[in-house]
Amino acid sequence: MPKKGGEIIPGSRAVDTVEDIFKKRKGYEILGREISFVNPATGQLRRYDLVVRTPGRKIIGIEVKSGTASRNAAQRTFDKLVNSRSSALRATGRKAAELNVTNINKVLLYRVP
Give tens-digit pLDDT for 56-106: 999 999 999 998 999 999 999 999 999 997 667 899 999 999 999 999 999
Count: domains in the chain: 1
Whether residue 6 is contained in a domain is answered as no
Nearest CA-CA partner of 23 in 67, 53, 44, 46: 53
Whether residue 67 is contained in a domain is answered as yes
- In this structure, what are the phi and psi dihedrals at residue 45, rounded to the nearest 5 degrees? -105, 150
Whether residue 102 is contained in a domain is answered as yes
Whether residue 82 is contained in a domain is answered as yes
For residue 113, the SS3 value is: coil
Residue 84 structural domain: 12-112
Whether residue 2 is contained in a domain is answered as no
- Taking the model in full, what pTM does it have? 0.85
Whether residue 90 is contained in a domain is answered as yes
